[in-house]
Structure 1
Amino acid sequence: MKRDFLFSYYQTPRGAVLRRQETDYLQRSITVSCKQTILQIGALGWETELIDCTLYKYYTVLDAEGLGDPAVKKIRAEASCLPLQCDSVDMIILPHFLEFDPCCLRTMREVERVLKPEGTVVVVNFNPWSLRIRYEYLWERQKHDAWSGHFISRTRVIDWLKLLNFEVILFTEFNANSVRSTHGKFMDNCYSLSANAYAIKAIKRRYNIIPLTPVCETAPRLALANSINPATRVGS
């Protein structure tokens, strides 16, 4: 897995703006308490800008190469086989990780497995329809073929989440000069070709099947009009 394109793009003027936008967005997205467990899959190197690690002691970064801010706890493992128990994490963040993951579907299943019911997942990806991102992608390949990834549309990510029983609650686009968020029924009509990246926030739902018990058919019974008052029935 290579993420050189991501870090080289952050060094450009437009990439620096995108980095600030995504940092502010992730700061606002972390709404769990400091005693809950947060897992970030894919290191960025500036995790201390997202969260206060002295306060959130259960914030962990999982990266196959062991990268990440020195002040953050790290796990060196593959995302497609998370070394964590089922239903053990309260929030999972995937910042530009699925685009560089050859086993992204397996990773999403692992995310669903380790996330607690009603837990939150945040996915951040590049916008595959952005002409600017396409240009940077072609230019990067001409230089040293450092992309080694694949663009993923927001509709595909939403379909994956729905198949895994996630409810998408927020969709955000990062434009050059603004950040726009939509939720509910307005998410289907909100999509900009000028956005450099997008983020999807979803909640894991746990649906329990209620077994149906067989109902025994009985003969209908007739009730007397004055059966409620026994004294009246005896006196009559």
Structure 2
Amino acid sequence: MEQRNLHAWLETPLGQYVLQMEQDMLDQAVANLFGFNALQISWPHLDGLRTNRIPHHISLSTRLGGTIQAEPCALPLASQSLDLVVMPHALEFAEHPHALLREVDRVMRPEGRLVVVGFNPRSLWGVRQLFTLNRRVSPWSGHFISLSRLKDWLALLGFEMDGGRFGAYAPPFTSARWLHRFRFMELAGDRWWGVGGGIYLLQAVKRVHAMRLIMPRWQPQNVVEPSLAAAVRSAGVRRQGVQPEAHDNVVPLLPRPKAVPVSPQS
């Protein structure tokens, strides 16, 4: 039922406005990301990987229409096998968004890239959702996740933020005429109201910190060695006829043996 509502909403002028905005944002975000395997989760109406040059593209959907059909929280993929994961509105319509993020973290390689697209609840779109009476109609039936909360979730999994942007600053009018009148807000929004866009795109990198072996710091033993300098000073004192004090730590020098004359053999 929800999929049919979403498909019908995407055919409206407001849905087409969102699709075009998000397609442009994704085209720019993934164009220069490289690797071997890329995955898109949710929203098959978008081709979030069309400008990406990774050789193997996979699209996942709970219904027919994707490369594979499976539940997003149980991906049929090997661990650490993906270099790029694109998630347009997957978290907002997932029953367990935390479990979905943990599953994505499992299948991503170290230094892999994650791109998340979502509706911004701190915008005019969030106000529209707040005053919508019928919450079973898409997209207002989704659970809008704020950007700050999403950053906290990703940080707990070891992801590092790597940029993002906002879009769809125009009010969510259902009329194409009124949407066209407020198109000027797209240019003014980035400059005067940067965090007030109706949708956001966030990029993150999976960081895996390597272990470092800490060796014990051995304390050097204090070895007492005889002081040759003291011995030299002692010898100099004896040549001057002065006896060293008893408490001086000196090493006495042995007397040189006398030469013994040897008589020639008869």
Considering the TM-score relative to the shorter chain, is it more than 0.5?
yes
Q: For residues 113 and 26 of structure 1, do their structure 2 counterparts lie closer, same or farther at Cα, with a shift above 3 Å needed?
A: same
SS of 1:119's equivalent in the other structure is: strand
Q: Quick check: 1:91 aligned with 2:84?
A: yes
SS of 1:141's equivalent in the other structure is: coil
Flag the structure with larger Rg: 2
User: CA–CA distance in 1 between the matches of 2:190 and 2:76?
Assistant: 33
Q: Is the 8 A contact 1:5 1:140 kept in 2?
A: no
Mean alpha-carbon deviation: is it higher for 150-159 or for 35-44?
35-44
1:37, distance to aligned residue in structure 2 (A):
0.9
Match of 2:50 in 1: 51
Q: Is the 8 A contact 1:2 1:149 kept in 2?
A: no
Report which structure shows greater RCO (CA 8 Å, sep ≥6): 1
Structure 1: gaps spanning 5 or more residues: 69-73, 183-188, 224-236
Match of 1:178 in 2: 186
Match of 1:26 in 2: 26
TM-score by length of 1: 0.75
Q: Is the 8 A contact 1:121 1:203 kept in 2?
A: yes
Match of 1:36 in 2: 36
Q: Letter of the 2:186 partner, please give it.
A: S
CA RMSD of aligned residues (A): 3.1
Query: Aligned match of 1:149 in 142, 156, 159?
Result: 142
Match of 2:153 in 1: 160
1:151, distance to aligned residue in structure 2 (A):
1.4
Q: Is the 8 A contact 1:171 1:181 kept in 2?
A: no
- Cα deviation per residue 1:22-66 (whole Å; 9 max; x = unaligned)? 101111122234x6211001132342x85169x755111111113
Q: For residues 191 and 4 of structure 1, do their structure 2 counterparts lie closer, same or farther at Cα, with a shift above 3 Å needed?
A: farther
SS of 1:178's equivalent in the other structure is: helix
Match of 1:112 in 2: 105
SS of 1:20's equivalent in the other structure is: helix
Match of 2:256 in 1: none
User: CA–CA distance in 2 between the matches of 1:21 and 1:191?
Assistant: 16
Q: For residues 162 and 4 of structure 1, do their structure 2 counterparts lie closer, same or farther at Cα, with a shift above 3 Å needed?
A: farther
Match of 2:198 in 1: 196
User: CA–CA distance in 2 between the matches of 1:145 and 1:44?
Assistant: 18
Q: Is the 8 A contact 2:115 2:202 kept in 1?
A: yes
User: CA–CA distance in 1 between the matches of 2:79 and 2:68?
Assistant: 17
Structure 2: gaps spanning 5 or more residues: 171-184, 226-266
SS of 1:84's equivalent in the other structure is: coil
Q: Is the 8 A contact 1:42 1:63 kept in 2?
A: yes
TM-score by length of 2: 0.67
Q: Letter of the 1:62 partner, please give it.
A: L
Match of 2:207 in 1: 205
